[in-house]
Amino acid sequence: MHRLMHRPFRALLSTLALSVALILGVIPAAHADGTNPPTPGDFTGYGFDQCLTPEQYKMNAWLESSPFLAVGIYISGKSRACRDQPNLTPAWVSTQLKKGWRLLPITLGPQADCLDRFPRYGDDPTINPKPGRKGRYGKARKQGVAEATTAVAEATRLGIVPGSTLWYDLEGFNVNNTTCRESALRFLSGWTTQIRQLGYVSGVYSSVGSGIKMLDDARVERPGVFALPDRIWLARWDGVANTSSDYIREDGWRPGGRVKQYKGGHDERWGGVRINIDSNYLELGNGSVAPAEVRCGGTRVSFKEYPRLAPPKAGQRPGERKVTALKCLLREQSVYSGNLRGTYSPKLVQAIKAWKQARGLKTTKAWSQRNWVMLFAVADGGGANPVLKVGSTGDDVRRLQRALNAADGATQLPVTGVFDGFTERAVRAYQARTGLEGSGVAGSQTWAALAAGIR
């Protein structure tokens, strides 16, 4: 990958093997942080990988400024270029997951026997190419099982929990070499079988013209012969941020089973920090989806524009649905305690004045577009707003989308709770309009501008 230092009985046996490994200390039993989520989970968006796990200040800077929300990390494998990973600790893993990063744990162990770049160090074995007496490449398969067991041990130590995807990095090789190809297939079959039996999800990274093509051909031409990975990671440096390639069929590992490394080693600078990376695009699981939202028993609070509201006068009345939405939102912030009917009531006026007074604003009876923007920029629970970018989901994304609609009625974003390309463009437009760096990432500066009601 990165070139810098560049049926029931069987399941029972696997469970027993895992238990023995735990007892012997091969797999630490109590080190994983039980609060960590499986990673990367359901996600559609951008990621990067680097040989050496980045320091925390780099991760912080890139979270705030870069388009990336997933990061590949080399957790095991004797053939990985960066054997020493001083920054990769259980604390590092839990910190990134809490901040919203999605992790792609990578193993680079034995490589194809016909690949002349390996062994890399001399003590890192290559995949055994011998077919054996029955022609089943049993030794290669056992190597794959062993490598999976080691990878799970390291994942467990780091707090990467079951349900996470563990990726095997099989560097590009000559797939026309029969023993090389068949032994690699058996190796990966052993890897996938063991990864699954130990409770994780199997992923394989390789060049789309060699290892990935080999897997895709096996899927179509020899179905059922090999245990194929749950997810594939295509190395295809065509500069196109998608998960397609002419080298393989379009139906395989669809939907939700592909990552594509679309750009090889290069420097990028975000937030003043430069890292040499590979760039990736992910379409995994169900993709980036947001859970359903219910506000105040079903009150609608999402609109494509949020106009000024004021007490009725001279036959003019504010829109009832917008008034009801405002009452709901102020109730959720413990400011309003009245009914949710669409009347501009004295209790609503009292709540509006209290809300404004708490923010040092002039305590008028009207509710302006600026007030809408400020209201949506208040984080749930009053804490800090999270960094949001392509792939982010949830109620915070909905708040952002509503704030952008309130800031500019021409934006008219659908409030989906998914930070997609439309939302990214709306963020960039807002940043350009308000003099902020046009990163398309809703970081601290963007949230601060929204919280101030800047339109």
- Express each pLDDT in 113-125 by its tens digit: 999 999 999 999 9
Q: Are 347 and 277 part of one and the same domain?
A: no
Residues 103 and 237 placed together within one structural domain of the fold: yes
Tokens of 384: 């800090």
Host domain of residue 439: 290-308+368-455
User: Which DSSP string corresponds to 138-206?
Assistant: HHHHHHHHHHHHHHHHHHHHHT--TTSEEEEEE----TTSHHHHHHHHHHHHHHHHHHHHTT-EEEEEE
Calculate mean pLDDT across residues 146-159.
Answer: 98
Asked whether residue 302 falls in the same domain as residue 249, the answer is no
Average confidence (pLDDT) over 221-226? 97
In a domain, 2, yes or no: no
Task: Tell me: do 57 and 185 sit in the same domain.
Answer: yes
Q: Would residue 60 count as lying in a domain?
A: yes
Q: Which two tokens stand for residue 234?
A: 């295509």
- Average pLDDT taken over every residue of the chain: 92
pLDDT for residue 8 is more than 60? no
pTM recorded for the entire structure: 0.88
In-domain check, residue 188: yes
In this predicted structure, the answer to whether residue 12 has a pLDDT above a threshold of 50 is: no
**Cβ contact 303:329 at 8 Å:** no
Report whether 271 contacts 297 (CB < 8 A): no
pLDDT at 1: 65
- 60 shares its domain with 112: yes
Domain count, the chain: 3
Measured distance CA(322)–CA(342) in Å, rounded: 8
> Mean pLDDT, to the nearest integer, of 437-445?
95
- 110 shares its domain with 210: yes
Same domain (yes/no): 176, 208:
yes
pLDDT (tens digit per residue) in 402-413: 999 999 988 899
The whole-angstrom separation of Cα 252 and Cα 214 is 12
Query: What does the pLDDT look like over 18-45, one tens digit per residue?
Result: 443 433 333 333 334 458 999 999 999 9
- The two beta strands, 43-49 and 273-284, are antiparallel
Same domain flag for 407 and 442 = yes
266 occurs within a structural domain: yes
In a domain, 355, yes or no: yes
CA–CA distance from 84 to each of 5, 74, 90, 121 (Å)?
11, 10, 15, 14
CA-nearest of 296, 319, 310 to 348 is 310
Number of H helices, E strands in the chain: 12, 8
Quick one: pLDDT at residue 34? 54
Q: Tens digit of pLDDT for each residue in 349-387?
A: 999 999 999 999 999 999 999 999 999 998 877 788 999
Here the CATH number for the domain that contains residue 231 is: 3.20.20.80
Note whether 275 and 400 are same-domain residues: no
Whether the Cβ atoms of residue 438 and residue 449 lie closer than 8 Å to each other = no
Residue 151 CA to residue 10 CA, distance in Å, equals: 20
Specify the CATH number for the domain of residue 384. 1.10.101.10
3-state secondary structure of 232: strand
Least confident of 191-195, 244-248, 281-285, 381-385: 381-385
Q: Bridge-partner residues for 232, per DSSP? A: 204, 258
Tell me what percent of the residues of the chain surpass a pLDDT of 70: 93
Question: 97 and 160: one domain?
Answer: yes
Q: Looking at the domain assignment, is residue 201 inside a domain?
A: yes
Predicted pLDDT of residue 17: 42
Residues 137 and 173 in one domain: yes
Q: Choose between 6 and 454: higher pLDDT.
A: 454
Establish if 431 belongs to a structural domain.
yes
Q: Is the domain of 355 the same as that of 218?
A: no
Q: Is residue 3 part of a domain?
A: no
* Other CB atoms within 10 Å distance of the CB of residue 107: 27
